């Protein structure tokens, strides 16, 4: 049963990650390969606050969300000058810088050794330690995040964001500050990505930089692209498919050493085939054009 | 100091080669070719196969590696990019496909050869001293081949018909095809040539420090950054950008440590994006021309 809880928790975490990335990719139309950086910064920041400063879980979570959101906003300032491919390169660069900071700033992050013993969340005096309780917590948080995104997406703000995506020049001529919209979308996405980061840290109770590298960013983008961008259904479907797919592969007899590679090859092929035949993903609305 | 500059120059020469290939492909076809990194790895492992496993001499192994790289580039263009170009798919669609190709190829290589680092030539390299500067034989080759191929590439663009056609297609591919140029054929040329340039960079690095399946990615990121700081739409600018990047990396490594290399690369990129967005030799363009 714990196995089922684990899968559900993973679906919640990647659902939230893909949902938050969707705000940038699907709604603002900016492809990003740096999402795992925000995810990782959230995880590290909350962990350090809980373990070194002794802050309670909720307070650390809020601080991580606010800080990462603000950082994402700052990062987006030069980025809005860039178009298409170069925006992607920029986010990739941000991802590399964050990774090498987490990896090399050994005094604070313990670098490649990682941080063991991240405390479990304590809510209203109760410690959430069993997988079942953690699963409920993740489901509740995921629901709240999706609800917030639904409000954001169906508000005038969400529609303006899509207008900026469809035709920046037309949106600007109607008095919309397109750069400000892109910046705020990036900030929201970063802030919301910090939440699964904090949950991941306290769930696995151990974090190290390799969980938040470029491969993770690529994986989050895979979840979104395969599920479909531009609406709220796509990312959730993507999370379900990509979390469960490797579990199905367990039943096929593949040697353990090759399993990770086979999984990656399947993701890669899925990306190529999706882009060729169904760029809007399984259930998405936005086909990247 | 001089020693670090010399090391930086050799490193920059390799970045320049990969960057010239990346830039040629990007400027001509508008494909942001992340799979260039996979081509890089394919070339290195082809060399490993030829020289390490089959024990062929370098004189056969290196052309074999370059041929395999060119073939891989052509296959990617024919089976992945060309169908997308026919549909005039958006840049984002092409980029995601390219990422997919990269993931597939890298993992196929990892399955075939393992994830560990493979070294081609163990032992201590023969060195040459120029005053106070000491270079290994491979470093010397990196600098010389970098300069020679950049020169040859310049000649190719200026003097051969296919080179001129590449420039025409880069300028306006619709107009070029109206004037009777087979854009599809030109794209094949561009991918073959770009892949050979990436392959030659990969060979020069593989001979020096060996390879692992993922080592192409940072090389191609550096190459893409070299293209931007050199200035896009200028075929030779990546060479200048690559040299600048190599020298900057060497200086920072001298002052701090090698661990911050990728941070330096992207720090430089961000500085250029903020201060001189069109790059060293680029021209400012209007939004609709991009």
**Predicted complex: ipTM over 0.95:** no
CA distance A57 to chain B (A): 31
Q: Does B50 touch chain A (CB under 8 A)?
A: no
**Does residue A64 contact residue A194 with C-beta atoms inside 8 Å?**
yes
**Does residue B25 contact residue B35 with C-beta atoms inside 8 Å?**
no
Nearest to B240 by CA among B150, B131, B144: B150
* A162-214 pLDDT tens trace: 887 877 787 778 877 778 888 888 999 999 999 999 999 888 888 888 888 88
- The CA distance from B149 to B154, in Å, is 8
> Residue B146 half-sphere exposure, CB side, CA atoms within 13 Å?
28
Q: Where are the alpha helices (DSSP H) in chain B?
A: 2-29, 36-47, 58-76, 82-86, 91-113, 137-159, 161-171, 173-178, 183-209, 215-230, 237-255, 261-275
Q: Does A101 touch chain B (CB under 8 A)?
A: yes
Predicted local confidence at residue A93, as pLDDT: 84
The minimal CB distance from B93 to the residues A101, A104, A288 is found for A288
Per-residue CA distances from A254 to A158, A246, B106 (Å): 44, 11, 18
- The CA distance from A145 to A123, in Å, is 18
Q: Hey, are the CB atoms on B267 and A97 less than 8 Å from each other?
A: yes
**φ/ψ (deg, to 5) at B134:** -115, 125
**Does residue A7 contact residue A159 with C-beta atoms inside 8 Å?**
no
Predicted local confidence at residue A55, as pLDDT: 86
Among chain A residues, CA nearest to B33: A85
**In sequence order, which residues have a C-beta less than 8 Å from that of residue B147 and are 6 or more positions away?**
B13
What is the average pLDDT across A60-88? 87
Nearest to B290 by CA among A193, A122, A82, A141: A82
Share of chain A above pLDDT 90, in %: 21
Interface of A with B in 183-212 (CB under 8 A): none
Q: Does A265 touch chain B (CB under 8 A)?
A: yes
Q: Does B275 touch chain A (CB under 8 A)?
A: no
Interface of B with A in 229-248 (CB under 8 A): none
CA distance A12 to chain B (A): 24
Radius of gyration, CA atoms only, chain A: 19
Q: Does A276 touch chain B (CB under 8 A)?
A: yes
Q: Which residues pair with B134 in a beta bridge?
A: B129
Q: Pull the structure tokens for residue A211.
A: 């969980």
Q: Does B116 touch chain A (CB under 8 A)?
A: no
CA distance B156 to chain A (A): 27
Q: Pull the structure tokens for residue B105.
A: 């190829």
Q: Does A146 touch chain B (CB under 8 A)?
A: no
Q: Hey, are the CB atoms on B262 and A289 less than 8 Å from each other?
A: no
* A78-90 pLDDT tens trace: 777 777 788 888 8
Domain ranges, ordered by start, for chain A = 2-209
Q: Does B84 touch chain A (CB under 8 A)?
A: yes
Domain ranges, ordered by start, for chain B = 2-289
Q: Does residue B1 sit in helix, strand or coil?
A: coil
The minimal CB distance from B263 to the residues A85, A96, A261 is found for A96
Nearest to B203 by CA among B36, B40, B87: B40
**Does residue A118 contact residue A201 with C-beta atoms inside 8 Å?**
yes
Please say whether the structural domain B2-289 has been given the CATH code 1.10.10. Answer: no
Predicted local confidence at residue B284, as pLDDT: 64
Q: Does A103 touch chain B (CB under 8 A)?
A: yes
CA distance B194 to chain A (A): 19
The minimal CB distance from B269 to the residues A93, A218, A279 is found for A93
- The CA distance from A201 to A207, in Å, is 6
CA distance A156 to chain B (A): 26
Predicted local confidence at residue B78, as pLDDT: 93
Q: Does A254 touch chain B (CB under 8 A)?
A: no
> What string of DSSP letters covers chain A?
-HHHHHHHHHHHHHHHHHHHHHIIIIIS----S-HHHHHHHHHHHHHHHHHHS---HHHHHHHHHHHHHHHHHHHHHHHTT--HHHHHHHHHHHHHHHHHHHHH-HHHH-GGG-EE-PPPPEETTEE--SHHHHHHHHHHHHHHHHHHHHHHHHSHHHHHHHHHHH-HHHHHHTT--HHHHHHHHHHHHHHHHHHHHHHHHHHHSEE-GGGGSHHHHHHHHHHHHHH-BSSSHHHHHHHHHHHHHHHHHTTS---HHHHHHHHHHHHHHHHHHHHHH-TTTTT-SB---
Q: Does A289 touch chain B (CB under 8 A)?
A: yes
> What string of DSSP letters covers A103-156?
HH-HHHH-GGG-EE-PPPPEETTEE--SHHHHHHHHHHHHHHHHHHHHHHHHSH
* A174-188 pLDDT tens trace: 877 778 888 888 999
Q: Does B53 touch chain A (CB under 8 A)?
A: no
Q: Does A74 touch chain B (CB under 8 A)?
A: no
Q: Hey, are the CB atoms on A264 and B107 less than 8 Å from each other?
A: yes
First to last CA, chain A: 43
B107 contact residues in A (CB cutoff 8 A): 261-262, 264-265, 268
Q: Does B101 touch chain A (CB under 8 A)?
A: yes
- The CA distance from A139 to B52, in Å, is 53
First to last CA, chain B: 41
Q: Hey, are the CB atoms on A101 and B263 less than 8 Å from each other?
A: yes
Q: Pull the structure tokens for residue B222.
A: 């550096």
- The CA distance from B186 to B161, in Å, is 11
The minimal CB distance from A78 to the residues B26, B32, B274 is found for B274
The minimal CB distance from B95 to the residues A85, A96, A261 is found for A85
| B119 DSSP assignment | -
Q: Does A136 touch chain B (CB under 8 A)?
A: no
Q: Does B78 touch chain A (CB under 8 A)?
A: no
Q: Hey, are the CB atoms on A275 and B102 less than 8 Å from each other?
A: no
Tell me what the pLDDT averaged over chain A comes to.
Answer: 86
Q: Hey, are the CB atoms on A272 and B97 less than 8 Å from each other?
A: yes
Q: What is the pTM of this model?
A: 0.89
Predicted local confidence at residue B290, as pLDDT: 46
Q: Hey, are the CB atoms on A268 and B103 less than 8 Å from each other?
A: yes
The minimal CB distance from B100 to the residues A88, A272, A288 is found for A272
Q: Could you list the mean pLDDT of each consecutive 10-residue stretch along chain B, which spans 290 residues?
A: 84 91 90 92 92 84 93 94 88 91 93 84 74 81 88 88 85 84 89 93 88 86 88 82 88 77 80 76 58
């Amino acid at each position: 049963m714990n196995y089922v809880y684990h899968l559900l928790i993973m679906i919640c975490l990647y659902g939230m990650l893909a949902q938050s990335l969707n705000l940038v990719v699907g709604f603002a139309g900016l492809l990003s390969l740096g999402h795992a950086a925000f995810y990782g910064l959230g995880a590290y920041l909350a962990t350090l606050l809980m373990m070194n400063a002794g802050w309670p879980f909720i307070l650390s979570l809020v601080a991580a969300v606010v800080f990462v959101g603000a950082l994402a906003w700052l990062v987006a300032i030069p980025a809005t000058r860039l178009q298409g491919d170069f925006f992607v390169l920029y986010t990739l660069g941000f991802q590399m810088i964050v990774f090498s900071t987490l990896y090399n700033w050994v005094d604070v992050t313990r670098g490649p050794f990682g941080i063991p013993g991240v405390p479990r969340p304590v809510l209203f005096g109760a410690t959430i330690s069993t997988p079942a309780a953690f699963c409920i917590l993740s489901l509740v948080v995921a629901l709240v995040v999706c609800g917030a995104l639904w409000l954001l997406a169906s508000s005038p703000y969400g529609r303006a964001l899509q207008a900026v995506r469809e035709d920046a020049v037309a949106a600007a001529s109607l008095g919309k500050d397109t750069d400000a919209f892109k910046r705020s979308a990036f900030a929201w996405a970063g802030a919301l990505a910090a939440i699964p980061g904090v949950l991941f840290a306290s769930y696995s109770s151990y974090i190290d930089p390799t969980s938040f590298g470029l491969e993770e960013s690529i994986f989050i983008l895979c979840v979104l692209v395969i599920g479909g961008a531009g609406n709220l259904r796509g990312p959730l479907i993507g999370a379900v498919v990509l979390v469960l797919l490797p579990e199905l592969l367990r039943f096929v007899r593949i040697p353990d050493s090759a399993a990770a590679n086979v999984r990656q090859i399947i993701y890669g092929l899925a990306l190529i085939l999706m882009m060729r035949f169904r760029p809007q993903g399984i259930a998405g609305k936005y086909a990247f054009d | 100091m001089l020693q670090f500059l010399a090391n930086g120059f050799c490193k920059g020469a390799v970045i320049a080669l990969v960057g010239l290939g990346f830039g040629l492909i990007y400027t001509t076809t508008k494909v942001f070719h992340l799979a260039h990194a996979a081509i890089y790895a394919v070339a290195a492992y082809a060399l490993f196969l030829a020289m390490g496993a089959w024990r062929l001499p370098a004189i056969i192994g290196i052309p074999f590696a370059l041929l395999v790289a060119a073939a891989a580039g052509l296959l990617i263009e024919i089976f992945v990019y060309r169908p997308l170009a026919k549909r005039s798919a958006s840049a984002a669609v092409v980029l995601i496909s390219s990422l997919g190709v990269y993931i597939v190829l890298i993992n196929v290589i990892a399955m075939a050869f393992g994830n560990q680092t493979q070294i081609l030539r163990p032992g201590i390299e023969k060195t040459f001293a120029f005053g106070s500067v000491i270079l290994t034989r491979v470093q010397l080759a990196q600098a010389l081949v970098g300069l020679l191929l950049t020169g040859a590439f310049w000649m190719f663009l200026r003097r051969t018909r296919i080179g001129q056609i590449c420039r025409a297609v880069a300028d306006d591919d619709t107009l070029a095809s109206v004037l009777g140029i087979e854009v599809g054929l030109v794209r094949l040329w561009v991918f073959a040539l770009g892949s050979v340039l990436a392959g030659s960079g990969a060979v020069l690095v593989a001979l020096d420090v060996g390879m692992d399946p993922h080592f192409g990615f940072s090389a191609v990121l550096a190459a893409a950054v070299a293209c931007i700081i050199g200035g896009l739409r200028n075929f030779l600018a990546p060479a200048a950008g690559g040299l600048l990047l190599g020298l900057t990396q060497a200086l920072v490594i001298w002052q701090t440590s090698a661990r911050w290399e990728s941070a330096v690369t992207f720090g430089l990129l961000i500085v250029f994006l903020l201060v001189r967005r069109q790059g060293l030799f680029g021209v400012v363009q209007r939004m609709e021309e991009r």
